[in-house]
Amino acid sequence: MLPIEASILEAAVALAQTGTAEFHGYLMASEIRERQGARLLTAYGTLYKALERLERQGLVQSRWEDPAAAAEERRPLRRLYHVTAEAVHALAAIPSRGKQPALKPIRRPAEA
Amino acid sequence: MIALFVGLAVFIGGLILVAFLPSLVARLVKGWAWLYTARLPSDIRARRRAEMRSDLWEHARAERELGYRPESIALHQFLRCLFGIPADLSWRRSQVRQSRHVRPRSLRRGLPLEPALAEKLVSELQQLDPLMQKVVALKFDIELSNAEIARLLDLSAAKVGVELDSALKQLRNSLAHDLRPWLTAARLAEPGAGRQKSDAGQ
């Protein structure tokens, strides 16, 4: 598994533990930045390519949100992702990611 | 007087640029997404473009709420787009390969790979240096870009390119004999091959 894929899964599992079961692309990018203490958000191409790979591997699933919700907030439709049970097993199987910075606790109000 | 005029023009130009920069960058990023998804199947194209639209909007909203200035937001979006270009291109290549809607560029021209040739290919792949095997698998199986492979294997991108070129050259050389009749058949099967023959006969 690539580092970006592991980062996505770790962040997604952490989000799920705090009550945010589904995430969209920008939320994931900002979550990864916060957890890694990075200055920049994950690039669009890198993020969506990795999400697509994870989806192909069955580690995340996605759906378009209800158009009514987007229309109500007058914003574009979100693609919502969630991790599958296989993702948790896949994460557990990853050997220690020695060089990665320690994970930081999540500080985020629940958001879809 | 001229200096004052130029200064005023630069100031006004700067104000206009800053005022329109976020929407310009958003259009630029959307334009790039439009470009690299062009001619892909409509569902794939629509999904990526819609995700980009949503991400740009969410990004701008979140940073506005955090108090970022419009030009900072534009810069952040531009950098996200810029750093993602290699992945975008590699993603497009993989989509093109998988897609029937885009004309295949491979030499196969849709012909099935003969089992004997496939076995030979696997056997030759196993003869490659272990590093070359890794690079080839990551490039053509997982479809990573050279930059991504370099990061994963802790190599320079140039080294990845060299390994890839060497591996392909080695494979071509060792398979040249086996490939020749197969490629000839593929060329004859190309649309227009028969027409060219009849044109030549006239």
What ipTM goes with this model? 0.81
A49 to chain B, any CB pair closer than 8 A? The answer is: yes
Residues paired with residue A62 on neighbouring β-strands, in sequence order: A81
Max CA separation in chain A (angstroms) = 45
∠ CA B96-B102-B108, nearest 5°, is 80
d(CA B18, CA A71): 29
Task: Specify the pLDDT at position A99.
Answer: 44
A66 to chain B, any CB pair closer than 8 A? The answer is: no
Task: Specify the pLDDT at position B197.
Answer: 42
Task: Specify the pLDDT at position B91.
Answer: 92
A3 to chain B, any CB pair closer than 8 A? The answer is: yes
pLDDT band at B174 (very low <50, low <70, confident <90, very high): confident
Cβ-Cβ contacts under 8 Å, B84 against chain A: 43-47
Q: pLDDT for A68-100, tens place per residue?
A: 888 898 999 999 999 998 888 888 887 755 444
Question: One-letter amino acid identity for A13?
Answer: V
pLDDT band at B193 (very low <50, low <70, confident <90, very high): very low
Residues paired with residue A83 on neighbouring β-strands, in sequence order: A60
Mutate to test the interface with A, among B51, B76, B153 (most CBs of A within 10 A): B51
d(CA A63, CA A112): 13
Nearest to B84 among A44, A76, A79 (CB): A44
Q: pLDDT for B63-97, tens place per residue?
A: 999 999 888 899 899 999 999 999 999 999 988 88
For all residues of chain B together, what is the average pLDDT? 78
Task: Specify the pLDDT at position B104.
Answer: 38
Give me the phi and psi of B142, to 5 degrees please.
-85, -15
Cβ-Cβ contacts under 8 Å, A111 against chain B: none
> Of the segments B1-5, B50-54, B113-117, which one has the largest average pLDDT value?
B50-54
Task: Specify the pLDDT at position B139.
Answer: 83
Q: pLDDT for A18-41, tens place per residue?
A: 988 899 999 999 999 999 888 889
Cβ-Cβ contacts under 8 Å, B48 against chain A: 48
Q: How far is CA B134 from CA A55, B6, B128, B173, in A?
A: 23, 58, 10, 20
The H or E element containing residue B170 is helix B157-189
> Average pLDDT of B37-54?
90
Task: Specify the pLDDT at position B176.
Answer: 75
Residue pair B102/A61 in contact (Cβ under 8 Å)? The answer is no
Tell if the CB–CB gap between B80 and A42 is shorter than 8 Å.
yes
**A53 pLDDT more than 70:** yes
pLDDT band at B181 (very low <50, low <70, confident <90, very high): low
Task: Specify the pLDDT at position B51.
Answer: 94
By residue count, chain B amounts to: 202
**A47 pLDDT more than 90:** yes
By residue count, chain A amounts to: 112
> Average pLDDT of B167-181?
77
Task: Specify the pLDDT at position B111.
Answer: 52
Tell if the CB–CB gap between B87 and A77 is shorter than 8 Å.
no
**A107 pLDDT more than 80:** no
* Lowest mean per-residue pLDDT among B38-52, B55-69, B73-87, B98-112: B98-112
**B61 pLDDT more than 90:** yes
Q: Provide the whole-model pTM.
A: 0.60
Task: Specify the pLDDT at position A103.
Answer: 44
**A101 pLDDT more than 50:** no
